[in-house]
Amino acid sequence: MKAYLFYFITSIFPLIVLGQNKSEQPITHAEYAQQYPQKNHSKIKGWVINGNSTDLKDIIVKYAVVNIGNPIQSTYEIALEQDGSFLIILPEKLPNRQIWLSFGSYAYICLYSDDELVLTFDLNKLKKNAVYFNGEGVTFAGKDGDKNRIMNDYILFNKKYNANFSNKINVLATEDSNYMTILDSLFAFQQKVNQDFYMAYDHTQQTLIDGETNMAYYAKKLNYLYRNAKPVHSINELLIPVYAISNNSHEYLQFLNRYMASVGFKGTKEKFSVTNLAKYYDETLPPTYADLGKLQFDDSDLKEKFQLYELLKPTMRYNWSKDYLNSQMTDLAKKIKAIDSINVKSSIDKENSSLGKSILKTKSNSKLYLNEHKSGKELLTALKSTFKNKLVVIDIWATWCMPCIQAMPFGKKLQLEIHDAGLPIEFVYLCSSSGTDEQKWRNKVLELDQPGTHVFVDSKVITEVMNTFDKTGFPSYILLEPNGAYDYHSILSMQSLSLEKLKKKL
């Protein structure tokens, strides 16, 4: 459910409106707020044809919905009904909500949900060839049908004729004085590719495609301005229409927020606070952009994030932003309640452990400890004595580290595979006390529902452990081999780690 770095690319120049759906209003225009009361919650209906009861039972629909603020995506999974159908109703009424959907192992598609979309999956065809974005076996219908067919065709066209675009963008260094020249050149070439698509296929979704591309471009430009603390003559130079709630819009709004908070607000000499920053946005930005900017405010702790949203709620100008914030707060409240319930119901493990004080053991096999060792050397020795003759994956992280948290699902998936294979491999998560406290750490582990052994470690001890292996940031990974040797080179990222790689270490 990724595609974080995949961009829908078109012109970086002023938007062309020829042959486009002019009734579609970006969320950044005041007209959208006027249309909002009449807007329905968007729906995605799915149907399976030519499938038997065994097929239907085995298929799981997994999908990731892109958010305005953090987290960038919320992931879900649902089973099919007995008749082979499924229904997704989005809780917020937002324009062109991007969804990355996997239909079992048969199809992976990108959706833009604005009104009603009907998907049909033909298993006779999909069993022969799985579909990647568009192809035989998947059909798009309903009011959003043509839009989604065209957008998935566009992805395939773009991947074919500008396959290395993302890689070229990602290797650009913001400290390079030629950054903007190279960026403009890359997007100019993409413009040619897009014009070829419009000529060969369809230009009815050019508004959406152009909007996506401009957000991708301005996200990179804002990152450059932010990293180099470069002022602009007017903030309006950096404000573009937002036609979709997508990975591209999320990145654009995130970097606009960072730029405003660091370069813009810093120049006011006002004391930093959420209230002052929100006030600055309201005074500096057009109202729609101010609301979108404030929705980027974040906190890694769920309870503090809920309190943050309570502060922001009275400052929201529009019904769509108020409704979105209310929906997010409702979701946060459910998560907080669930975590509090786990805290109450989970058992306290009284068994002695060389890792430290045992404080919690959950039904999902999360074991939580408070480190009592005074040095990194003591902790590393304790890990050896606790996990003799086992392979141990050690994940060093922090509760506020977004890359750390984004990597957690990959570790969870690996642990399930290890459990099914019955292998002597353990996962240990060493969380630094830097920038957090015990309760926030406990809540984050429970929120993630991350199995494994979790140890809350004083930041001084964590620093000693990291210095021992020449590690400089979060997340960092180390392997403790069955023979007691520490391997600190093999794991570059949790995403790149596989069961086969671990088996070779046993």
pLDDT in tens, 97-154: 999 999 999 999 999 999 999 999 999 999 999 999 999 999 999 999 999 999 999 9
| pLDDT higher than threshold 90 for residue 222 | yes
Is residue 86 in a domain? Answer: yes
| Type of residue at 242 | V
Q: Is the pTM here over 0.75, yes or no?
A: yes
* Distance separating alpha carbons of residues 362 and 345, to the nearest angstrom: 8
Contact 326, 433 (CB under 8 A): no
Q: Which tokens sit at 129?
A: 């060839």
Q: What is the pLDDT of residues 324-338, one digit of tens each?
A: 999 999 999 988 887
Query: Backbone phi, then psi, for 195, in 5-degree steps?
Result: -65, -35
Quick one: pLDDT at residue 340? 79
Confidence bin at 342 (pLDDT 50/70/90): low
Residues 69 and 118 in one domain: yes
Residues 154 and 183 in one domain: no
Is residue 9 in a domain? Answer: no
* Distance separating alpha carbons of residues 335 and 202, to the nearest angstrom: 43
Quick one: pLDDT at residue 300? 81
Residues 294 and 394 in one domain: no
Is residue 240 in a domain? Answer: yes
Angle at CA 129, nearest 5°, toward 118 and 153?
A: 50
Quick one: pLDDT at residue 345? 54
| Type of residue at 175 | E
Q: Which domain holds residue 376?
A: 357-503
Give me the helix-helix angle, 287-294 and 274-284, nearest 10°: 160
Of 493, 244, 260, 286, nearest to 393 by C-alpha is 493
Helix (H) or strand (E) holding 395: strand 391-397
Whichever domain contains 423, its CATH number is: 3.40.30.10
Quick one: pLDDT at residue 338? 76
Is residue 317 in a domain? Answer: yes
Is residue 231 in a domain? Answer: yes
161, 187, 207 — which closes off a domain? 161
Residues 174 and 319 in one domain: yes
Q: What is the pLDDT of residues 23-54, one digit of tens each?
A: 578 999 999 999 999 999 999 999 999 999 99
* Distance separating alpha carbons of residues 470 and 155, to the nearest angstrom: 41
Is residue 275 in a domain? Answer: yes
Residues 152 and 299 in one domain: no
Q: What is the pLDDT of residues 64-96, one digit of tens each?
A: 999 999 989 988 989 999 999 999 999 999 999
| pLDDT higher than threshold 70 for residue 348 | no
Residues 450 and 483 in one domain: yes
Q: Which of 70-84, 349-363, 377-391 has the lowest average pLDDT?
A: 349-363
Whichever domain contains 107, its CATH number is: 2.60.40
**DSSP E strand boundaries for 90-181:** 97-103, 107-113, 116-122, 131-132, 138-141
* Distance separating alpha carbons of residues 125 and 134, to the nearest angstrom: 13
How many domains is the chain built from?
3
Residues 34 and 147 in one domain: yes
What count of residues does the chain have?
506
111, 129, 161 — which closes off a domain? 161
Contact 462, 396 (CB under 8 A): yes
Helix (H) or strand (E) holding 419: helix 402-421
Residues 85 and 121 in one domain: yes
Distance (Å) of CA 242 to CA 126, 209, 224, 234, 292: 35, 11, 20, 19, 10
* Distance separating alpha carbons of residues 91 and 329, to the nearest angstrom: 12
Distinct helix (H) and strand (E) counts, the chain: 17, 16
Of 80, 88, 84, nearest to 49 by C-alpha is 84
Residues 189 and 228 in one domain: yes
Contact 448, 408 (CB under 8 A): yes
Is residue 119 in a domain? Answer: yes
Residues 125 and 177 in one domain: no
332, 365, 394 — which closes off a domain? 332
**Distant-in-sequence, close-in-space partners of 338: CB < 8 Å, separation ≥ 6:** 446
Residues 36 and 152 in one domain: yes
Residues 361 and 459 in one domain: yes
**Distant-in-sequence, close-in-space partners of 322: CB < 8 Å, separation ≥ 6:** 313, 316
Is residue 492 in a domain? Answer: yes
Contact 32, 25 (CB under 8 A): yes
